[in-house]
Amino acid sequence: MFTTPEKDTIPWLDFTPDVFFGSTIPFMAPRERVAGSHTVPGDKSITHRALMLAALAPGESRITGALTSLDARSTAAVLRLLGARISPVRTGTSVRVRGNPRFSPPPSALQCGNSGTTTRLMLGLLAGHPFPATLTGDGSLRRRPMRRVTGPLMQMGASIDDGGRDGLPLRITGGSLAPLDWQMPVASAQIKSALLLAGLTGGVEVTLHEPAPTRDHTERLLQHFGFEVASREGILRFAPTGRLVPFELAVPGDPSSAAFLVAAALLAESGEIRITGVGLNPSRIGFLDIMRQMGGRVTAEGVHTPLGEPMGDLVAVASRLSAVDVPAGAIPGVIDEIPILACLAARASGTSRFRSVEELRVKESDRLALMVSNLRAVGVSAAAEGNDLVVVGSEAPLAGRVVTGGDHRIAMAFAVLGRGAGSRIDIDDPACAAVSFPGFADALERLSQVAA
């Protein structure tokens, strides 16, 4: 039987930051040897998209290994308000979704929490539905720009009122849409996916001119259901040739989450770890190339490709790291991993530069400003030079207080950086890691517990 709770219960008791790092007990973990086989939560991007497509497919779909983070639960809660029946998103259980091929008008505002992915992709889905809906979120999400998505959706025929602000809350009224030919101003998987999903629900063709490649989970899933999605020389074309049907999907481990455990292994004094069942989509693992350029010993093994999504194991070995210069063209493919890559650079010999990272300014926080200020706060020389992030490596023990701004990736990156012998890094809001990696503190601690 399906249950449709008003909201998911958040299992905060599964996450015990005060034991390992937090606002009252400085994080200090001198253990430097890592070992063992580990897992990470389900892929965040695939979980969002699988829930959305299942909510539109007639009949019952089953999703195993779904991410159970706050962002994923925000997507499930929004879809329930639109008429889909979704079982609770809980660790260790499959998520069953009984779809509603045409969404129903929501009885209240759609609360997207802290999830930009939920918001932007839902705007695309709602653009093809002929009823009004209001989307809102927490304080951080309300400050994030939305016109880069709402602009092209309005050109397709959706009516959108943002009250004169480039952000939330906003009201969208969808309906009959026109085909779209759009020059994307920035490389963004969220914008691209929103417009493709508008083409899906509106039943119209979409042509996008991408300034650079971005993650392609939406394209792969749509192709699986028979939709024409083709990319050539930076031009992506979608045609509504397919049909959604119920499906079963095992979500691979999130590579962005795996990046934090890989980084912890690289920074260790000795040992190696294996992270099993990780998604290895080429559009998601650019961070591995950068880690290897820094001297990190990390390899992928046992790669296979269910439902068009490559997955396998990552093996990471403790390494000596050197500085890296990351060109602007590589940034869109590693934008979520910049915080942890910058923390690796803080322990690499030499000066690293991450070029044209201005997109960091409009993430869950102004990540560029926070990374610079926090690196300096713990004793690392760092600067924002125009739109570049510059980090000078150091072997000295690090100490200081990190202000996350509620940003999960900053909290996790500095937790990894604080593992060095003699370092004392105090993180003001470690619990925000649950946005994408429930149980992160436990997972990080197990790297060395296994080795003890």
DSSP letters spanning 154-207: HHHT-EEE-TTSSSSSEEEE--S---EEEE-SS--HHHHHHHHHHHHHHT--EE
What backbone torsions phi and psi does residue 263 show, to the nearest 5 degrees? -60, -40
CB 269 within 8 A of CB 241: no
Question: Which residue in this structure is represented by tokens 């300014």?
Answer: 361
Dihedral angle sign, alpha carbons of residues 191, 196, 197, 201: positive
Reduce the DSSP state of residue 378 to 3 states and report it: coil
Where does residue 167 rank: exposed (0-12), middle (13-18), buried (19+ CB within 10 A)? Answer: middle
Looking at residue 102, its amino acid is R
**Cα dihedral 143/147/148/154 (nearest 10):** 150
CA–CA–CA angle 294, 295, 300 (5° rounding): 105
CB 201 within 8 A of CB 127: yes
Looking at residue 344, its amino acid is L
- Catalytic (active-site) positions: 336
Cα(361)–Cα(363) distance, integer angstroms:
6
Q: Provide the 10 A C-beta neighbour count for residue 93.
A: 12
